Chains A and B, each alone.
Chain A
Amino acid sequence: DAKTTQPNSMESNEEEPVHLPCNHSTISGTDYIHWYRQLPSQGPEYVIHGLTSNVNNRMASLAIAEDRKSSTLILHRATLRDAAVYYCILRDLGMLTFGGGTRLMVKP
């Protein structure tokens, strides 16, 4: 699987937007970019995915660079409930391979 690189941790203030970066310079043409998050003591939860175009859903937005070598998960207004580990995963076929992710801390 192509590898992703994410910062180990990030901090945000409540009610402010959060931009979580992910680098994936070895992405292949058929790899989808997926984001999952894991809240404390819970199982991973799907957030969003995309291939080439930017994507929006009720949870977040995904901005994909034109060359697809990086992407950014955008939480428009962070809440305390968004404190979690966020995983950026590339997948073409088969199981999800989790890296270290970014631990997002949200300050009130």
Chain B
Amino acid sequence: NAGVMQNPRHLVRRRGQEARLRCSPMKGHSHVYWYRQLPEEGLKFMVYLQKENIIDESGMPKERFSAEFPKEGPSILRIQQVVRGDSAAYFCASSPSQLVGGTEAFFGQGTRLTVV
């Protein structure tokens, strides 16, 4: 059973370009969470999605960032018109159901975005 797969592992974009980060959850998992980790900082929650629904986007910047988790295919985190401050590691986690009490989340290896 493959773990959470994120691609690409490394992504370089010039300022103003778009970045698309993909996350394939573990088999049987229908809940996906995106986190961002700025250099030398902790992980910050961005968005929680279920298939075809955004459940909680309280951590998403108001502009340029969007996320989706379609019925088929991976979850996508999209950053439009990237700026240098978007350079960070982006992690995706999945769980088989809503994270309650004792449920664990499984994380991918992350996508390291560098904006030049």
Residue of B nearest to A99 (CB): B42
Give A contacts to B, CB under 8 Å: 30, 32, 34, 38, 42-46, 49, 51, 91-101
The answer for the CA separation of A77 and B62 in the assembled complex, in Å, is 46
Of the residues B56, B102, B105, contact of A96 by C-beta under 8 Å: B105
Q: Is the CB of B104 within 8 A of A34?
A: yes
Q: Is the CB of B99 within 8 A of A95?
A: yes
**Could you say which residues of chain A place their CB within 8 Å of the CB of B106?**
46
**Could you say which residues of chain B place their CB within 8 Å of the CB of A99?**
42
**Could you say which residues of chain A place their CB within 8 Å of the CB of B93?**
43-44, 96
Give B contacts to A, CB under 8 Å: 4, 33, 35, 42-45, 48, 56, 91, 93, 98-102, 104-110
**5 residue pairs from A and B, CB less than 8 Å apart:** A43-B93, A46-B105, A94-B98, A94-B99, A100-B42
Residue of A nearest to B9 (CB): A41
User: Given A43-B107, A44-B107, A100-B42: A95 and B56 within 8 A (CB)?
Assistant: yes
The answer for the CA separation of A38 and B42 in the assembled complex, in Å, is 10
Residue of A nearest to B42 (CB): A98
Q: Is the CB of B33 within 8 A of A95?
A: yes
Q: Give me the 5 closest cross-chain CB pairs, A-B, nearest first.
A: A43-B107, A98-B43, A46-B104, A32-B101, A44-B107
Q: Is the CB of A93 within 8 A of B98?
A: yes
Q: Is the CB of A92 within 8 A of B101?
A: yes
Q: Is the CB of A45 within 8 A of B42?
A: no
Residue of B nearest to A42 (CB): B109
**Could you say which residues of chain A place their CB within 8 Å of the CB of B56?**
94-95
The answer for the CA separation of A51 and B102 in the assembled complex, in Å, is 8
Of the residues B44, B100, B104, B110, contact of A43 by C-beta under 8 Å: B110
- Closest-CB distance, B69 to chain A (whole angstroms): 14
